[in-house]
Chain A
Amino acid sequence: GNSVTQMEGPVTLSEEAFLTINCTYTATGYPSLFWYVQYPGEGLQLLLKATKADDKGSNKGFEATYRKETTSFHLEKGSVQVSDSAVYFCALSPLSGGSYIPTFGRGTSLIVHP
């Protein structure tokens, strides 16, 4: 079946540090890949996505590249801010029997200190 594996958190960084959150996946075919962000007390928000190999998704300074050869979609940001503190979820969505059922990773908590 499909699965998404994320690095365990929490990830604790100082402001302006470089961020990487690893995500690898297992899927048949060519899924779309997503990163979501969840701020405390809120629902998930789509952060960025990529729909085919070598695509780079980007938003709000975050980037992730769809690497089919390594089945990875690592999230990066060059300089994190305190306001980036949140939980980040990696996800994939294949076409399955006509229904698009996404599979989520377990989430990685990011804590950024001033």
Chain B
Amino acid sequence: NAGVTQTPKFQVLKTGQSMTLQCAQDMNHNSMYWYRQDPGMGLRLIYYSASEGTTDKGEVPNGYNVSRLNKREFSLRLESAAPSQTSVYFCASSENWRGGFFGPGTRLTVL
């Protein structure tokens, strides 16, 4: 039982490059979330998926797209990376947010 896994753990991009952050959970949760964490800003919700086949914008969706590939997997894509997207990205899953389980994070630097 791995919980929530994220790949990659670290990534450096140049401005304008694209990449996809992968997230998978093995707890059979319906809901999955993508957050970014910046110093002094706490956690900000980018996108969430309440159930397989649905996605919705969170607080800071601009510059990102998501795909709920199946019940297990929820990916986050940066089409044209910008320095403002330098952050730590966390994926989480939950069933009715009775607590939530977080992945270990992806540390992204955009030069």
Is B12 among interface residues, defined by CB-CB distance under 8 A?
no
Is A74 among interface residues, defined by CB-CB distance under 8 A?
no
Is B90 among interface residues, defined by CB-CB distance under 8 A?
yes
Using Cβ atoms and an 8 Å threshold, which residues of chain A touch B42? 89, 104-107
In the bound complex, CA of A32 to CA of B99 (Å): 9
- Chain A nearest CB from B97 CB (Å) reads 4
Please name 10 pairs of A and B residues whose Cβ atoms are closer than 8 Å in the assembled complex, sorted by A. Answer: A32-B98, A42-B104, A43-B102, A43-B104, A89-B42, A93-B97, A99-B31, A100-B97, A102-B97, A106-B40
A49 touches B99 (CB 8 A): yes
A43 touches B56 (CB 8 A): no
B105 touches A100 (CB 8 A): no
In the bound complex, CA of A4 to CA of B111 (Å): 33
- Chain B nearest CB from A21 CB (Å) reads 14
Is A44 among interface residues, defined by CB-CB distance under 8 A?
yes
Residues of A near any B CB (own CB < 8 A): 32, 34, 42-46, 49, 89, 93, 98-102, 104-107
Using Cβ atoms and an 8 Å threshold, which residues of chain A touch B100? 34, 44, 46, 102
What is the size, in residues, of chain B's interface with A at 8 Å between Cβ atoms? 24
Using Cβ atoms and an 8 Å threshold, which residues of chain B touch A104? 42-43
Using Cβ atoms and an 8 Å threshold, which residues of chain B touch A49? 98-99
A89 touches B104 (CB 8 A): no
> Which are the 6 A-B pairs with shortest beta-carbon distances?
A100-B97, A43-B102, A106-B42, A93-B97, A99-B50, A46-B99
- Chain B nearest CB from A49 CB (Å) reads 6
In the bound complex, CA of A51 to CA of B60 (Å): 28
Using Cβ atoms and an 8 Å threshold, which residues of chain A touch B56? 99
- Chain B nearest CB from A88 CB (Å) reads 11
User: When each residue 82-108 of chain B gets 1 if its CB lies under 8 Å from chain A and 0 otherwise, what string results?
Assistant: 000000001010101111111111000
Which of B4, B40, B90, B99 has the most C-beta atoms of chain A within 10 angstroms of its own C-beta?
B99
